[in-house]
Amino acid sequence: MTVDSTPFEDIRHLVKTMPPSQQDAIESVTSQLAEYVPFLQPFGQYAGALKWLAGWQGRADPSIDRPLVAVFAGSHGAAKTVIGEDPVKGAQERVAGMTKGGAGVRGMAAAFGAAFKVYEMGIEFPSADMTVEPSLSERDCAAAIAFGMEVVAEGADLIVLGNAGYGSATAAAAIAHGLFGGNAAYWAGGSGPTAKARIKAVDDSTTRHKALLSDPLHVLRCFGGRDIAGMVGALIAARHQSIPVILDGYVVCAAAAVLHEISADSLRHCYAGHLSAEPAHGALLDRIELKPLLDVGIGVGDGTGGTLAMGTLMAAANGLKTAGQ
């Protein structure tokens, strides 16, 4: 942190000084794709994804050789209000399910040769209940962002970002409502016994913190919790290391939306892996100007859809390489 600066000022500086992709690699892949007969385009919508991958890897022959599926987990104080259960216990059970249980995403990652890691963001210390006070202080939020930046230390050439936080869907809906306005039910809607409580929590919290909603980073700290702040850090660090990122579901995209509202250019290194069945995910993708690679009805945001999208992109990249031989 620079002298006399606040934690958020340093983060804004990182967002506003993000490097671009490498245009020569994009042009090389564009030239390869142009060799096909116009009505015989074997890569379809993957043509755009291949050019994106090439630009961020800086390679005329893009490939995914060291992928990482990174799942962030945290505990949100609002979960007790909405779900009526202990957020620490709930988060611990989710982490156990991801690391030792039968989470499908772990098997998918193994099938594609990807490293799989769960980032526990202080689950023993839930963020504050956003309906009563901001989830995090500015300093704690910045610390979580900094911790999330450590994801690039794994040496991956592509990162799939997922979330398994307890109460994080409510937090994400509040972030979306805080950033983009509209009706709380639009962002927090759905079915089930907790739907009304979730909508009320989002409405109450955005009303309580309305004085802070003009600043995206304060929106993050008011509602986000450590896991969502950590994913913001992961996205910033990946961009500065020119590592492409595939975003998973609604919660991950809420973290991305914070950066988008600071700078619309900040998500150029990101691709939406899929359109999930989570309420309002499509609306959130529209706001952050990303189109999903897949739409297969996956209803969880733990990295499953993003990992599946990564596998298909991996196959497309191998196909491009073979076609060029």
Task: Summarize pLDDT for 281-307 with one digit per residue, the tens.
Answer: 999 999 999 999 999 999 999 999 999
Using a 10 angstrom Cβ sphere, with 0-12 exposed, 13-18 middle and 19 or more buried, the burial of residue 60 is: middle
pLDDT for res 6: 84
Topology of the domain comprising 65-323? Rossmann fold (3.40.50)
pLDDT for res 4: 47
Using pLDDT thresholds of 50, 70 and 90, give the confidence band for residue 3: very low
pLDDT for res 323: 67
Question: Full-prediction pTM beyond 0.85?
Answer: yes
Q: What is the distance between the alpha carbons of residues 191 and 278, in angstroms, rounded to a whole number? A: 11
E strand residue ranges, the chain? 67-73, 115-120, 158-163, 245-247, 270-274, 292-294
Q: Alpha-carbon torsion 21, 22, 23, 25, what sign? A: negative
pLDDT for res 151: 97
Question: Can you tell me whether residue 240 is helix, strand or coil?
Answer: helix
Nearest to 270 by CA among 294, 244, 288, 305: 244
Q: What is the overall mean pLDDT for the chain?
A: 94
pLDDT for res 2: 44
Res. 45: pLDDT tops 70: yes
pLDDT for res 214: 96
Percent share of the chain, pLDDT over 70: 96
pLDDT for res 258: 98
Q: What is the distance between the alpha carbons of residues 118 and 92, in angstroms, rounded to a whole number? A: 12
Beta bridge partners of 118: 71
The type of residue at 300 is V
Residues 258-269: what's their mean pLDDT?
97
Comparing 4 with 256, which gets the higher pLDDT?
256
pLDDT for res 322: 82
Q: CB 128: neighbour CB atoms within 10 A?
A: 17
pLDDT for res 37: 55
Among 105-114, 154-163, 193-202, which is the least confidently predicted range? 193-202
Res. 156: pLDDT tops 90: yes
What's the pLDDT tens digit per position in 64-118? Answer: 999 999 999 999 999 999 999 999 999 999 999 999 988 999 999 999 999 999 9
Q: For residue 209, which phi and psi values (nearest 5 degrees)? A: -105, 20
Q: What is the distance between the alpha carbons of residues 41 and 64, in angstroms, rounded to a whole number? A: 22
Q: For residue 85, which phi and psi values (nearest 5 degrees)? A: -130, 160
36 sits in which H/E element = none
pLDDT for res 1: 43
Cβ pair 71, 228 in contact under 8 A: no
What's the pLDDT tens digit per position in 81-90? Answer: 999 999 999 9
pLDDT for res 192: 76
Q: How far is CA 25 from CA 240, 245, 276, 298, in A?
A: 18, 17, 31, 33
Q: What is the distance between the alpha carbons of residues 63 and 143, in angstroms, rounded to a whole number? A: 33
Using pLDDT thresholds of 50, 70 and 90, give the confidence band for residue 36: confident
